[in-house]
Structure 1
Amino acid sequence: MERPTLKELAVQALSSVERGYDLLAPKFDATPFRTPDWMLAATITALREYGPFERGLDVCTGTGAGLEMLEEATAEPPTGVDFSAGMLEQARAAHPGADLVRADARALPFDAAYDLVVSFGALGHFLPDERPQLFDGIFRALRPGGVFALPMSRAPRRTQPAYWLLSGFDLAMRVRNAVWRPRFVMYYRTHPRPALLADLDAAGFAVETTPMPGVGELIIARRPAG
């Protein structure tokens, strides 16, 4: 697959989140932004002790990388939700058996329908004050006893180049959003682990973590059975 050009990436970055991903969708899987296969494999391995799972939902599914994991981890065909029509079009072509729903993840249209919910690489698209809406919707989408599995890669240290690369990206994005409309919300350092755990706890989840060797950890947020 051909990678997007610098001009295409620039146009995408100056668009809204929805329009930007509509434009990027046909070439998205050729970019570094697609969830890598090693992350999907590590998540499946870490989830084995918490299953089996019957029905799964991938929040902010994009072109459907998470659907691949759910097709292996759940008994029924998976569901993917995203608000980019372009991304869903690509996901539909790659996963014709999946149920794909166009919706805003801050207002998920599901009620006690799934026993496993996953999301990969999407938290940067939500500002800190939007996470409660996201997590409340995921809580409602789960059946009692169901699991929200959130993989987290190991955060780079200040001594590592990746730390400064991500910090620089966030700074550039803040400057862009201060001077340009519509905003494009995508940040790497707005969802630190303690804040995520606190927000999940506030949403009503029972939270634990399990290691993913060589990757980081998997946050397991369970809707209480009661």
Structure 2
Amino acid sequence: MLIAMYHGPVRGTTGKLTPMFSPEGPTLRELAVQALSSVERGYDLLAPKFDHTPFRTPDAVLDAVGTFLDLTGPYDDGLDLCCGTGAGLDVLARVCRRSVTGVDFSAGMLAVARERLPDAGPRARLVRADARALPFTSGFDLVVSLGAFGHFLPAELPGLFAGVHAALRPGGLFAFPVLAPPRPRSAAFWMLLGFDAVMRVRNAVWRPPFVMYYRALRFGQVRRELERAGFRVELYALPGFGHRADGSPRARMIAARRPAPADF
């Protein structure tokens, strides 16, 4: 996953592998080992240095999500789906009055997230589980996810969204930010296309697979699967990220609500 995103120097003046992205970040060798592992094992290995890579959810995104939830809340009980090292726990703690839960299937990521729990307060807890088989039933009125959807194949969306729907109470909200795809003439478009191509070749010739694709899921498909799972879907522009040349927002919040009985 991460190796294809590296553009810095491989070796320093001493001949040793240099850290990636920042002095505290992973080295190229560490990323190579991670990329040749399973998703779970790869993140276990990367976890201690994950927050020093560009793949941690940026503060600008966290702030935008928090602002949106402030306007639509407050909430009682919140779940951070695929919480990783827990960057979103503070956001949930701010908008949830009763409890905050982070769920992830990487023990390594949860170990780092556990260090954040004091900041989120005594109401916070962590659960190790696969997002495709959530162990919750009507336990939350808010579920958020921050940047995890590249790890799910299109065929997995029905089960994933059904699990989130079951974890929410009637009237509960499933919210996550999405960025507008880059234009075909942009360098970003070709970079992401190339990244996905490399990952497909890697998964065709190497086991276990590492599922991480930037272009596997389409917005229309995500919306259809949310609606099939029983959600009512609305879109909200995130104004802090500006607009594209055609006037469309660069970033949106998808707000998928599980209808309450009175809504029918």
State whether TM-score is above 0.5: yes
**Could you tell me whether the CA contact under 8 Å between 2:233 and 2:257 is conserved in 1?**
yes
Structure 1 residue runs of 5 or longer lacking an equivalent are none
Normalised TM-score (structure 2): 0.84
5 Å matches for 1:49-68? Answer: 49-68=71-90
**Could you tell me whether the CA contact under 8 Å between 1:46 and 1:211 is conserved in 2?**
no
Structure 2 residue runs of 5 or longer lacking an equivalent are 1-22, 242-249
Kindly state the Cα deviation for residue 95 of structure 1 after the two structures are TM-superposed. Answer: 1.7
- Say whether residues 1:217 and 2:252 are aligned partners: yes
**Could you tell me whether the CA contact under 8 Å between 2:76 and 2:99 is conserved in 1?**
no
Kindly state the Cα deviation for residue 77 of structure 1 after the two structures are TM-superposed. Answer: 3.4
Aligned-partner Cα distance in 1 for 2:140–2:193: 36
Kindly state the Cα deviation for residue 186 of structure 1 after the two structures are TM-superposed. Answer: 0.5
Higher RCO (C-alpha under 8 Å, 6+ residues apart): 1
Kindly state the Cα deviation for residue 57 of structure 1 after the two structures are TM-superposed. Answer: 0.1
Percent of residue pairs identical: 61
SS in structure 1 at match of 2:97: coil
Higher mean C-alpha displacement, 196-205 vs 155-164: 155-164
Partner residue, 1:199: 225
**Could you tell me whether the CA contact under 8 Å between 1:113 and 1:142 is conserved in 2?**
yes
Partner residue, 2:209: 183
Q: 2:145 aligns with which of 119, 143, 150?
A: 119
Partner residue, 1:18: 40
- Say whether residues 1:81 and 2:103 are aligned partners: yes
Partner residue, 1:9: 31
Kindly state the Cα deviation for residue 154 of structure 1 after the two structures are TM-superposed. Answer: 2.1
Higher mean C-alpha displacement, 177-186 vs 73-82: 73-82
Aligned residues: 226
Aligned-partner Cα distance in 1 for 2:33–2:180: 31
The C-alpha deviation readout for 1:20-66, integer Å capped at 9, x for no partner, is 00000000000111000100111111223321111100000000011
Partner residue, 2:246: none
Aligned-partner Cα distance in 2 for 1:202–1:132: 8
Aligned-partner Cα distance in 2 for 1:171–1:145: 40
SS in structure 2 at match of 1:77: strand
Q: Which amino acid aligns with 1:140?
A: A
Choose 1 or 2 for highest CA Rg.
2
Partner residue, 1:152: 178
RMSD between aligned residues: 1.0
**Could you tell me whether the CA contact under 8 Å between 1:26 and 1:90 is conserved in 2?**
yes
